[in-house]
Amino acid sequence: MAQKKLSILAAVVLILTSTIFIMWFVSEKSRSYSEPQDPLVAFDKDILLIPAYKGNNEALYFFIKEHHNLGAAFVEEGLLGWKARMFSWSPMGTKYTDRLNGYKGHGDQLIYGLIQKDDDRIIKVNGEKAEILPLAALPEKEQKEYGLENMCLWYFKSDMPLKGGNIELVDNHTGEQIDRLEI
């Protein structure tokens, strides 16, 4: 009799465990995609994507939403495909010059902004060089539509939270500081 009760209990536990696993699998699969940009497009098919990098099961994309919001999103590759993590965006402003015009943050380890293209200048965050993405790689039609002609997107991803410090615009040849912002 005890063995029969134990067998029934084991069957019930197996059925419950299988049901929970199937529900998790279906949920995860429905939120996973085969390409890293796909979860972003699923979020909003009308965003303009600006890929930054893809590697080590992670990708970073910047995007423009509704023509006036600049945002960022990390995408990670899991067992079932690519899934988006947190999205963030804010108004991107209308006038960008050859100076630092503020910055945006995504979490506490990524900051980014827009600046006019100038190969003679670099951006440093707390003394470390930021990455610069020339937006000339975007189709010309989209550059004009979004007001991104002759523009670059700069970003800095830190392993540690960015709590204070500064952003510097520096002459690439002389090392002279041209502009500076406090974080």
Strand partners, 125: 128, 167
Cα–Cα distance for residue pair 50/146, rounded to 1 Å: 12
Phi and psi dihedrals of 14, rounded to 5?
Answer: -65, -45
- Residue 50: the pLDDT is 96
pLDDT tens for residues 69-103?
A: 999 999 999 888 999 988 999 998 766 777 888 89
Q: What are the domain boundaries of the chain?
A: 1-30, 38-182
For the stretch 31-51, pLDDT in tens is: 668 899 999 999 899 999 999
**Which ranges in the chain belong to alpha helices (H)?**
2-30, 38-43, 140-145
Q: Which of 18, 31, 85 is nearest to 57 (CA)?
A: 85
Buried b (16+ CB within 10 A) or exposed e, 80-116: ebbbbeebebeebeeebeeebbebbebeeebbbbbbe
Rounded Cα distance, 123 and 115, in Å = 10
Which of the 8 DSSP states describes residue 135? G
Strands, E assignment, 29-140: 48-55, 58-65, 69-78, 81-91, 104-106, 110-116, 121-125, 128-129, 131-134
pLDDT at 76: 95
Whether the model pTM is above 0.75: yes
Smallest CA-to-CA distance from 140 within 131, 149, 132 is with: 149
